Amino acid sequence: MAASAAVRSAVSLTQRFVRVSPDCSICPLYRLNACTGATDGFTAPSRRLRTSIGVCQSGDSSSPEEEERVVNVVYIDRCGQRIPVQARAGENALHLAHKHGVDLEGACEASLACSTCHVYVSSEHYEKLPEPEEREDDMLDMAPMLQENSRLGCQIVLTPELDGMELTLPKVTRNFYVDGHVPKPH
């Protein structure tokens, strides 16, 4: 946790100076050889020099209209840790999770072809989400440990009325990571 916090502050510093591609050599994750290697539109010269999880996008904007569209979401990861994040309306819950280092796997990259981004939505906010379309329900059927408040994270689009929503990650996904393996986000 401390490492990702360090990344977030370090890379946001980098943002101000580097527009196109971040300098991975100063990133503590890279130096500790613990970079999870996600890219959000950046192609690095070599495979090992992949950018860290897309924090390297422009994230700050502090104009007044944008303030109203801020949505606070809390991710509760598989170990029970709470990760509060601030997002903007219109963002996708899966991409948001990747941006903040939450290990929500999205194997099919939000194309409604898997169930790995399965999350439990807090009950007060579950009703506020639109009804799932049939294809989402079909994919959700394949996820283990379903509950009444289950949804696919890649289909949750944040709106201001979802402020305060808590998304809990289920203990398992359809992929068998019984050895503790954590998949890298794409």
Which CB, 142 or 182, lies closer to another protein?
A: 142
One residue of 143, 152, 158, 169 binding another protein per CB under 8 A: 143
- Rounded CA separation 111/38 (Å): 18
One residue of 23, 109, 133, 137 binding another protein per CB under 8 A: 137
| 146: contact with another protein by CB under 8 A | yes
- Rounded CA separation 72/125 (Å): 12
What angle (nearest 5°) sits at the alpha carbon of residue 89, between those of residues 86 and 91?
A: 80
| 144: contact with another protein by CB under 8 A | yes
- Rounded CA separation 103/77 (Å): 7
Which CB, 48 or 135, lies closer to another protein?
A: 135
One residue of 18, 26, 142, 157 binding another protein per CB under 8 A: 142
One residue of 66, 109, 124, 141 binding another protein per CB under 8 A: 141
- Rounded CA separation 57/43 (Å): 14
Least spacing, CB of residue 104 vs another protein, in Å: 19
* Residue 113, both tokens: 């072809």
| 107: contact with another protein by CB under 8 A | no
CA-based nearest residue to 149, from 167, 164, 136, 175: 167
- Residues of the shown chain interacting with another protein in the complex, contacts defined by CB under 8 A: 134, 137, 141-144, 146-148, 174
